[in-house]
Chain A
């Protein structure tokens, strides 16, 4: 093979990528993005700002936002990383629905305008970025880790777990912490003590893991007044979940287990439930 061939192929290798990422790819068609803008340093109140973006049917909403930031307005502020639906960074409200913007294709909205807002039920940090402080505290509260005495003793090899035992919690371990379920949940919005769908599903994930022995400890948290019982089974969390974790199902199971535990702890005399 010659060097010319090599260089030609290198050029060729680039063509596809540049096609996807550059403004030259634009046909004459454009699509309008209306971005929620709010910067506490400079703005007294939020507003919407419209941008005309080249329409490319392979693009997702995130690509359009990135295009704006790169080429038009560097002050637009949002989070993103993997662009393949697994890092959980880029959740936003698109036309009123909580979605991962890396999985929301422009072609599902074209030719109409796309309105992008930060996830609801969270304080806005700036533009499309929300504060995650409360969410992180709730995740931590359910003690989402293996609880047993020999957890650091590897001498006996792996803890055995059958495929059937794995299947009991696997679904609930798929949460990417994208927080869409918190934006969809009507209880999260007005009940601060409510742990919310993702955190409860995560606590339940460990409770259902055959290797774990921390059920009682975890239930100390989950059994408190509004932590879990606040859920009214609207089920929107499971509808919007991009990873099919079904937090509503997890909470339903957790409540059933919790009711038994509650009965054991507070209704039966001590020791009688053993």
Chain B
């Protein structure tokens, strides 16, 4: 790997998705004299925020309340969220949503010109803003286009960050990154750094996540000594297309879609999620009930139906039916046109006339880089926001439509805080940082391009080397078999052992491509390395948490255990790179003591009666866009 001269800025952001771009704007606004670097392995508009469909939650209507959004989020999280952070999040959400509206996001509207909101799973009332069913796409493009206004935001598109650079005082001062076009490794330096690199769904074989969701930022922070928090909590979205894992948005249920098993039964009513009201009943769809229950519970119900033999066999595995036919063509085209496009193109199903086969699919990592309520990590000058970070507001289960809002609220906060840190720590020791980046380039060259690495090669037929895809497929298999929707000690231990084995075998991974320019086989190898680190924290944290909470369901410990586990897990990388050390930190409880987590009749109907006045169930059903 050749070496390129260091570039100096005030703040460096790694990741150009929603959180990174929101942070960049916050810094540019906070200090117009600052130079902000945005380092991203893809052009920003390719970032995975683009695929989010259903919407973003924020209290805006007079019939809603901040208090309710807080309670929904905390109970949805199975009380593992930090309540002070949730309060901050909910209070800041409306302002951030309005700001994005001012920046041009084409939110769907009510006839009076105000923004429209729709119901979403686990929410007591409709509070999810949406841009038809391409909300993430519109948010990302609005943010990206807005960044073009600022001359002080400098983009490093298609630069793959591999290492955080710390100065002698232990402050994070930039990253080493491979410029894909040339293969040169350069130091991109700043007085503070924000990681906004998204999740790691690609640790699993069946996921809604795009190819780029490989946990690189999580792994980078982990290697620098920051803990990864609550990694055992992996969200399965209940409605993905079998085979491809393409997401069919929760908004399809928010608009009234129903889930049925092979007998045509709305099976969710058999799992304490409420009563199956007729679709013509004006109270349908009920909030916090049935199809609008939280994602963890709905995915778990699917597995139980499958065990009971009541799912539908398809060539791509078991499925249930998401039936939208009663919504009618006009409403489907107006509210969820992308669902129709995706189902037609990728499943050969027109939801106007046929139910869509769906099954749970890995969607989101609740855990992530351990940050406090100020988006700061334990390393001075290092911040994180978005899916890669764990504040935590999502706890053991994130509510749909909270993550798009989260990247705005905490992206902005991380940006402001990183800017202030940079102002307070203005001096930059370039020499030492640059030499670290040079060492990093040398490490990569030795590991992947040296004569040794080549001679192990499988491409030429000989040697002990293994292809990236072989190791990646075995990792996928281990994660799905041992760390899926239901787990137990034995399955998790097997997965931990398998990951340890794969880490050893990774030392022999070999590339066909030993050239510099646009070497995507090299980046695939680096991504696999990130995934191995992240997967290890998922499996080990899962093994140590001997209770069931939210998305973490242990068959051998089926109950929630607040006495021992009302706590965040913290996975620290071991010195020898082997078994991570797991510690715990108590959850911050302010005003909402842990209670029974109930959906359906217990929680939904009462609120339904209260809430139906001002907006009511039909608020999102008017003749709005």
Contacts and interface: CB of A to CB of B under 8 A. Distances in A.
Contact of B512 (A42, A75, A89, A151): A75
Residue from the set A19, A71, A151, A163 with the largest chain B CB neighbour count within 10 Å? A163
B591 interface: no
Interface string B560-600: 00000000000000000000000000000000000000000
B317 A41 contact: no
Interface string A55-79: 0001000000000011101110111
A161 B316 CA distance: 44
Interface string A1-27: 101011101111111111111100000
Contact of A146 (B102, B114, B137, B477): B102
Contact of B318 (A12, A18, A163): A12
B50 A9 contact: no
Interface stretch (A29-37, A136-144, A219-227, A256-264): A136-144
Nearest to A6: B486
Contact of B104 (A15, A19, A146, A176): A146
Contact of A41 (B108, B245, B515): B515
Of B104, B108, B477, B516, most A-chain CB atoms within 10 Å: B104
Contacts of A173: 106, 138, 141
A255 interface: no
Interface stretch (B205-213, B377-385, B419-427): B205-213
Contacts of A162: 109, 111-113
A161 B109 contact: yes
B51 A87 contact: yes
B484 interface: yes
Interface stretch (B145-153, B540-548, B612-620): B145-153
B265 interface: no
A129 B109 contact: no
A147 B207 CA distance: 39
B443 interface: no
Contacts of B535: none
Interface in B519-578: 519-521, 524, 555-556
Interface residues of A, number: 82
A74 B468 contact: yes
B242 interface: yes
Contacts of B307: 1, 5, 9
A21 B114 contact: no
Contact of A145 (B138, B146, B625): B146
A270 B148 CA distance: 32
B102 A152 contact: yes
Contacts of B212: 81
A22 B244 contact: no
Size bracket, chain B contacts = 35 or more
Contact of B108 (A15, A139, A166): A166
Interface stretch (A109-117, A184-192, A204-212, A230-238): A204-212
Interface string B477-491: 100111011111011
Given A86-B137, A160-B112, A17 B243 contact: yes
B555 A6 contact: yes
B625 A167 contact: yes
Interface in A139-182: 139-140, 143-146, 150-154, 157-163, 165-167, 169-170, 173-174, 176-177
B45 interface: yes
Nearest to B318: A12
B518 A77 contact: yes
A170 B106 contact: yes
A159 B518 contact: no
Contact of B488 (A6, A73, A88, A132): A6
Contacts of B42: 79, 81, 89
Contact of B46 (A12, A87, A126, A127): A87
A18 B205 contact: yes
B469 A71 contact: yes
B518 A71 contact: no
Contacts of A212: 104
Contact of A170 (B468, B555, B625): B625
Interface in B333-347: 338, 341-342, 345-346
Contacts of B29: 152
B520 A73 contact: no
Interface stretch (B3-11, B93-101, B393-401): B93-101
Interface centre among A132, A153, A161 (most CB of B within 10 A): A161
A84 B133 CA distance: 14
Contacts of A167: 625
A80 interface: yes
A69 B521 contact: yes
A209 B109 CA distance: 14
Contacts of A125: 181, 517-518
Interface string B487-513: 110110000000000000000000111
Given A6-B488, A12-B306, A22-B473, A41 B99 contact: no
Interface string B263-280: 000000000000000000
A102 B103 CA distance: 31
B110 to A, nearest CB: 8
A10 B481 contact: yes
B303 interface: yes
Interface in B208-232: 210-212
A74 B512 contact: yes
Contacts of A143: 148-149
Given A14-B205, A18-B205, A144-B148, A86 B481 contact: no
B22 interface: no
Given A41-B517, A75-B513, A163 B111 contact: yes
A62 B524 CA distance: 16
A16 B206 contact: yes
Contact of B303 (A9, A150, A158, A174): A9
A146 B103 contact: yes
Contacts of A6: 486-488, 491, 555
Contact of B149 (A83, A145, A157, A161): A145
A103 interface: yes
A46 interface: no
B102 A159 contact: yes
B481 A81 contact: no
A174 B135 CA distance: 11
A257 to B, nearest CB: 19
Interface string B600-622: 00000000000000000000000
A145 B516 CA distance: 36
A82 interface: yes
Given A3-B488, A9-B307, A176-B137, A86 B242 contact: no
A193 B315 CA distance: 51
Contacts of B99: 152, 154
A249 interface: no
Contacts of A126: 517-518
Nearest to A150: B102
B48 interface: yes
Contacts of B50: 82, 86-88, 176
Given A12-B318, A87-B50, A160 B104 contact: no
A154 B518 contact: no
A74 B625 contact: no
Contacts of A206: 104
A11 B109 CA distance: 45
Given A41-B516, A83-B210, A154-B99, 4 more contacts: A9-B303, A17-B316, A79-B42, A87-B45
Interface of A: 1, 3, 5-7, 9-22, 39-42, 58, 69-71, 73-75, 77-89, 103, 125-127, 129, 132, 136, 139-140, 143-146, 150-154, 157-163, 165-167, 169-170, 173-174, 176-177, 202, 206, 209, 211-212
5 contacts: A9-B307, A15-B317, A42-B515, A88-B46, A166-B106
A-B pairs, top 3 by smallest CB distance, nearest first, are A16-B317, A160-B113, A74-B512
